[in-house]
Amino acid sequence: MLMANRLNDSRLEDVFFRHMVGNMRNGVLAIDRDGTLVVINDEARRLFRLAPGQVSGAPYADILKEHPDIVRVLGGAFEMKSLPNRAELRLKSTDTVIGYTLSLVRDDRGEPVGAALFFKDLTHVEQIEERERLRDRLAAVGEMAAVMAHEIKNPLAGIEVLAGLLRRKVADPDAQALATDIINEAKMANAIVQEVLAFVRPVRLQVDRTSLRDAIDSAVSLADGKATRGSIRVDLNVPAEIPPLGADQHQLTQVFCNLLINAYEALEGRGCVDISARIAETAADGALLPDGHQPVATVVIDVTDDGPGMPPEVAEKIFNPFFTTKAQGSGLGLAIVRKIIDAHDGRIDMSTGDGRGTKFRVTLPVEPHKAGHQPIRPTGNHG
């Protein structure tokens, strides 16, 4: 009877242990001395993008072959004199950052019989910290740029006015053409100054109930007035069930306008731009994870063109401020886009390739979750 009670208690402990590990919000992964995977919980499966199911009992190097960084960490567990505690690692396979602790599992005699890896996805934390660092840098640059822009704008305005007066006073067509060139160059320089100011200023959102379709429609009209569309077809697929977003409609219009202008310039008057939107409610569907764990209601918008695409060396710099491949341009359009999306607690990603077109994916929460946003104003008929 005593043996049966002990066996029952052992089974209860085993069930409790499996439930505890399985429901932990941190990843847990354990191997034995032979390299067999003994324990892996759901969070570890999610982070390593492993299919649900039983993978225990297989060699960890086979299960995690797509993640050589983790294989290397586990492989050194039994050789290292001092195991890492609260270390950080960027996984090249998934471009995520984890904080981890590696511990040996010892038997009753103190002999190591396995190793356990406890880890947490720090990607969201790192993104927040990087945004804060960027805001600090931009605040300092912004103060300087505001002064410089003011000093530059006044002479530019004077040049433009004087060139206009000169054009009216001279009769020589060649001199008038030169005066026109001066005016155009002054306007271009002023536009660059305005873009620099827009980039370095903090984004202050006026959050309201915003129709995504209205923002995109306004962006199409705005882009058509700023760039040459030619015979490019723009296809919109924004389902009616997409809910209103807690967002700044003016800023979102600017985002999609800039993306459309980029597509128009890449297509050179021919081709198609497709803008589609969908709702995502799970991490697997692309929903945002503000706390790193719990998905929130999210809208995913893809802006896709069938143009020539970009080589890798260009694609990796495309969001960098002042980077441009155009003969004329400030290189700030996409940097401003990312800044606006960040202010909305969203994300923007790009996929492209030579001859394969380009897709920008904008991921936005239905409701803003960051402290400091202006509250959503009530809507309705106010008389």
Across the beta sheet with 233-237, the strand order is 233-237, 272-280, 298-305, 358-365, 347-352
CA distances from 198 to 206, 300, 331 (A): 16, 25, 13
Which among 202, 222, 247 is the end of a domain?
Answer: 202
CATH number, residue 34: 3.30.450.20
CATH number, residue 324: 3.30.565.10
Which range (18-22, 146-150, 287-291, 307-311) has the least confidence? 18-22
Which range (153-157, 217-221, 248-252) has the least confidence? 153-157
Query: Same structural domain for residues 261 and 289?
Result: yes
Query: Same structural domain for residues 354 and 241?
Result: yes
Query: Same structural domain for residues 107 and 144?
Result: no
Residue 7's pLDDT is 46
DSSP-H helix ranges across 201-324 = 212-226, 249-267, 312-315
Q: Which residue has the higher pLDDT, 241 or 84?
A: 241
**Which whole number is the average pLDDT over 97-119?**
87
DSSP state, residue 375: P
Q: Which residue has the tokens 């991921």?
A: 363
Query: Same structural domain for residues 86 and 212?
Result: no
Structure tokens at 63: 């299960």
Residue 67's pLDDT is 87
Query: Same structural domain for residues 47 and 108?
Result: yes
Which among 202, 236, 256 is the end of a domain?
Answer: 202
Q: How many domains does one find in the chain?
A: 3
Between CA 275 and CA 267 the distance in angstroms is: 15
Mean pLDDT of the chain: 81
Query: Same structural domain for residues 95 and 157?
Result: no
Query: Same structural domain for residues 249 and 136?
Result: no
DSSP state, residue 235: E
**Domain interval for residue 128:** 123-202
Do the beta carbons of residue 272 and residue 232 sit within 8 Å? yes
Q: What is the pLDDT of residues 202-213, one digit of tens each?
A: 778 899 999 999
Q: Which residue has the higher pLDDT, 160 or 94?
A: 160
Tell whether the model's pLDDT for residue 226 goes beyond 80: yes
Query: Same structural domain for residues 129 and 92?
Result: no
Q: What is the pLDDT of residues 168-207, one digit of tens each?
A: 888 888 888 888 888 888 888 887 777 777 777 777 889 9
Q: Where are the beta strands (DSSP E) in 127-271?
A: 208-210, 233-237, 245-247
Query: Same structural domain for residues 169 and 214?
Result: no
Query: Same structural domain for residues 82 and 134?
Result: no
Query: Same structural domain for residues 168 and 286?
Result: no
pTM for the predicted model, two decimal places: 0.61
Q: Which residue has the higher pLDDT, 230 or 330?
A: 230
Structure confidence at residue 290 as a pLDDT band (50, 70, 90): confident
CATH number, residue 127: 1.10.287
Which among 57, 90, 121 is the end of a domain?
Answer: 121
Query: Same structural domain for residues 22 and 116?
Result: yes
Structure confidence at residue 22 as a pLDDT band (50, 70, 90): low
